[in-house]
Structure 1
Amino acid sequence: MDFIKSPLNYTGGKYKLLPQLLELFPKEIDTFVDLFAGGGNVAVNVSAKHIIYNDIMRQVPEMLQEFKSVGVEECLQRIDYFIEAYELSKDNREGYLKLRERYNNSFDLEFGVMDPLMLYTLICYSFNNQIRFNGKHEYNMPFGKNRSSFNPALREKFVAFVNRLQEIDIQFFSKDFRELKTGGLKGSDFVYCDPPYLITVASYNENGGWGEQAERELLSKLDEIDKAGVRFGLSNVLESKGKENTILKEWAKRYKVNYLEHTYSNCSYHKKDKESKDVEVLITNY
């Protein structure tokens, strides 16, 4: 099966694990809830009647909602407009910084709000195409000199992704996972979680965004989902670079632990110890 790949670059994105993950997911799903949906690789490839995409970084669901609402043609027109207006290229740092400054002005004179497609254009030319904001919600990724652009391969990926968004029944939310109400879920639904991993470092962990308390609260939420008779799947790592997640290992004894073959190439820009294996798992209650 050919999978659709997200045009957003997320650390630890699940694209390469899709064949293994989808094989382990329930065969029949009414509502699929992707609680930490990130770039949307899982959400756009899962087979379900209805999909709920949720991510705490509100700019991302807003961007995907815009992709779906306006469609490929208008998206490309607006992206190309920004590329032309700011003469964006792999080596025009000044144009990139001017566009970033324009985006970070909270009220955009031309579009009235912070335009999600302006943000997407910035991401395409940023270092490693990463998505990161400072405490003032300003996009603060540096320029991806000689590396990043909206090249033909990315354009093709973007078109396929937006077309898929328009084909499927998907809703976008930006809520904290603790806000998930199990009352509205049924036994035929499925909640998938791919949270920040407690024992690995990524941009969302740098500012103390995910610690032991959040980890325990998520596991408690999954217990609640299980008690409600709803199926869940949790992606995580039990061990990474000599560290182990003892909280998760203890909790997982109650459930089924499926071990995955770890095949990331794009985990991070510099990873010195590529040989050190992460023990990646999908923990399920079915």
Structure 2
Amino acid sequence: MNNKKHRAFLKWAGGKYSLTEQINQRLPAGKRLVEPFVGACSVFLNSDFDEYLLNDINADLIAMYNIIKRRPLGFIADAKRYFQPQYNTEQSYYQIRAEFNQSTDPYQRSLLFLYMNRHGYNGLCRYNQSGGFNVPFGRYKKPYFPEKELLFFAEKAKKAKFVCKPYQKLFQYLRNDDVLYCDPPYVPLSVSASFTGYAKEGFSLDDQANLARLARESKCAVLLSNHDTTLTQELYRDAVCDKIQVSRTISSNASNRNSVGEIFALFKAIDTNKN
């Protein structure tokens, strides 16, 4: 694989583009990379495995990835129409968001999902309790249409299978030559400040503990990333852990960048040949 880095075509909170070198340095060798929390696919796009099994619980995301894999040129042509100036207004955005929330057609939803990702606030992906996308208008001067990123994704997607399942299910499909990279929703840095909203996203502290248990018991090597907290240090105590400092925006003001501790935990493959 050449050293050119490839950006995801989506804007994504918690995306791993800036950390792909550190992640690749820590991923063991294997034939297939399995990602239970694939998100915007930065690790997939910047790693070199023979095969990929890529999962996310967001059905809109996985449907779009499968559509782009099957018919990239048609998708690009249709999606580009939404990146004309007349669609970059508050009125158009909220009309399209309402259309997305009422649509049951996977192809149409995929086109609008990309539009909202690039025109919505901060590239957020958020749904209300009823399943409606509810990110507000972003007010960008000229949203970027990621054509070259889409083309690269579609080419590399030939090596990948995209699925939409609960993260636990992925551990049932593992082969001996698999390597897992788990990038779950991070534990909150302040439990008192953010746990309520965090739990509503569907990944609780019980899930954090369950994921650590699955990683510990896996027959394959598992690399996890998370915030470096007392909780994660305890959950990953049986793993080989190392820590880095990451610059991260932790408020709506992009100038407020603080250094945050990040932990990488490697659970080595269990040797099934041992008695």
Query: What's the TM-score, normalizing by structure 1?
Result: 0.81
Residues 267 and 202 (structure 1), Cα distance of their counterparts in 2 relative to 1, 3 Å cut: farther
Structure with greater helix percent: 2
2:122 corresponds to 1:122:
no
Which residues of 2 match residues 1-286 of structure 1 at below 5 A?
1-26=3-28, 28-71=29-72, 73-84=73-84, 87-89=86-88, 92-107=89-104, 114-147=108-141, 149=143, 151=144, 154-165=146-157, 168-182=158-172, 184-200=173-189, 205=198, 207=200, 209-225=202-218, 228=219, 230-238=220-228, 244-246=229-231, 248-264=232-248, 269-270=252-253, 274-275=257-258, 277-286=259-268
Q: How far apart, in 2, do the equivalents of 1:141 and 1:202 lie?
A: 20
CA deviation profile, 1:116-138 (whole Å, cap 9, x unmatched): 11221122111112211222222
Query: SS of the counterpart of 2:227?
Result: strand
Structure 1 residues 47, 224: closer, same or farther in 2, change over 3 A? same
Aligned length: 262
Q: Aligned residues: percent identity?
A: 20
Deviations 1:217-265 (A, max 9, x none): 111111221xx2x111011122xxxxx333x21232322012234244x
Distance 1:237 1:62, change over 3 A: same
Give the AA of the match of 1:19.
Answer: E
For structure 2, list consecutive stretches of 5 or more residues without a partner in the other structure: 269-275
Distance 2:151 2:250 in 1: 24
Amino acid at match of 2:225: S
Pick closer, same or farther for the CA change 1:9–1:113 going to 2, 3 Å. Answer: closer
TM-score by length of 2: 0.84
* CA RMSD after TM alignment: 2.6
CA distance in 2, matches of 1:52, 1:93: 38
In 2, the alpha carbon distance for the partners of 1:272 and 1:3 equals 25
